[in-house]
């Protein structure tokens, strides 16, 4: 395996499958099996999931809701997704712990860095819910922050497209895919990989990001094995 410890970033929308909102149990089960494949090979896995399939603070704010209140609602949505993924992983016999940035002691451990690292060393998947615990920060920022804290080798951003393109490949058939691109070039070309705060934090800590298609079975194994799929963002 090329990577020993990874931080997998999944969007909330990824859990919807073909639904309009909510969680698709089949998609969850597929993800759990893919994650099991790599944990069985000794890869240490931490996960951050978004909450966009349930609620987005920004969307709430655009309709007149208080932004801070909306962001806290979004954090709770990520905990719901974390509980769902934890259940799917444990159904696949993968030991899993859910840690949250906001205290919900009945359903999850509070985030404690040393405890998280100990879980990883013992072969448990650790899901980080509740974002950073602060409004105005996205789950992208939470993913990079947690990846740095647990000393992950790489951030794997699982999406529904197979990498970073010159334009949106779903809208522009002439879009060209990058296999490798530097942090500086992403900024110069104005490409959307993560929000600016998250991206800058990753760049400053020399933490590579790989964007790949998580919905294609076996892709996660290929990425951690070092196969050239998706797009790698590095210095």
CA distance 224 to 33: 15
Query: Whole-model pTM?
Result: 0.95
Give SS3 for 156.
strand
Residues 8-51 pLDDT 10s? 999 998 899 888 889 999 999 999 999 999 999 999 999 999 99
The reported pLDDT for the residue numbered 215 is: 92
CA distance 213 to 55: 23
Q: Phi-psi bin for 22: left (phi > 0), alpha (psi -120 to 50), beta?
A: left
The count of other CB atoms within 10 Å of the CB of residue 86 is 22
The list of the chain residues with pLDDT below 50 reads: none
Selection from 223, 21, 185, 48 nearest residue 130 by Cα: 48
Residues 115-134 pLDDT 10s? 999 999 999 999 999 999 99
Judge: domain 5-234, CATH 3.40.1160.10. yes
Vertex 12 angle, CA 219 and 30, to 5°:
40
* Cα–Cα distances in angstroms (integers) from residue 201 to residues 70, 197, 198, in the given order: 24, 6, 5
Count Cβ neighbours within 10 Å for each residue of 133-166 and write b for 16 or more, e otherwise.
Answer: bebebbbbbbbbbbbbebebbbbbbbbebbbbbe
The reported pLDDT for the residue numbered 146 is: 98
* Cα–Cα distances in angstroms (integers) from residue 128 to residues 1, 11, 80, 116, 179, in the given order: 23, 13, 11, 9, 29
User: Is 163 in contact with 16 (CB distance < 8 Å)?
Assistant: no
User: Is 85 in contact with 77 (CB distance < 8 Å)?
Assistant: no
At 185, list the tokens. Answer: 């070039």
| Count of helices and strands (H, E) across the chain | 8, 11
């Amino acid at each position: 395996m090329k990577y020993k410890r990874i931080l997998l970033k999944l969007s909330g929308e990824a859990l919807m499958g073909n639904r309009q909102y909510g969680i698709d149990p089949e998609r969850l089960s597929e993800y759990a099996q893919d994650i099991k494949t790599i944990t069985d090979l000794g890869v240490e896995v931490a996960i951050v999931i978004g909450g966009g399939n349930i609620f987005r603070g920004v969307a709430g704010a655009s309709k007149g809701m208080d932004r801070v209140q909306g962001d806290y609602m979004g954090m709770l949505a990520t905990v719901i997704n974390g509980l769902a993924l934890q259940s799917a992983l444990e159904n696949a016999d993968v030991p899993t712990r859910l840690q949250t940035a906001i205290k919900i002691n009945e359903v999850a451990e509070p985030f404690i860095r040393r405890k998280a690292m100990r879980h990883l060393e013992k072969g448990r998947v650790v899901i980080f819910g509740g974002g950073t615990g602060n409004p105005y920060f996205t789950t992208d920022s939470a993913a990079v922050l947690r990846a740095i804290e647990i000393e992950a080798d790489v951030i794997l951003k699982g999406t529904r497209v197979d990498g970073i393109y010159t334009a949106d490949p779903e809208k522009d058939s002439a879009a060209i895919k990058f296999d490798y691109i530097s942090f500086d070039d992403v900024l110069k070309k104005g490409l959307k990989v993560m929000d600016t705060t998250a991206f800058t934090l990753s760049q400053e800590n020399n933490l590579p990001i790989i964007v790949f298609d998580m919905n294609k079975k076996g892709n996660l194994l290929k990425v951690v094995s070092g196969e050239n799929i998706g797009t790698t963002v590095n210095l």
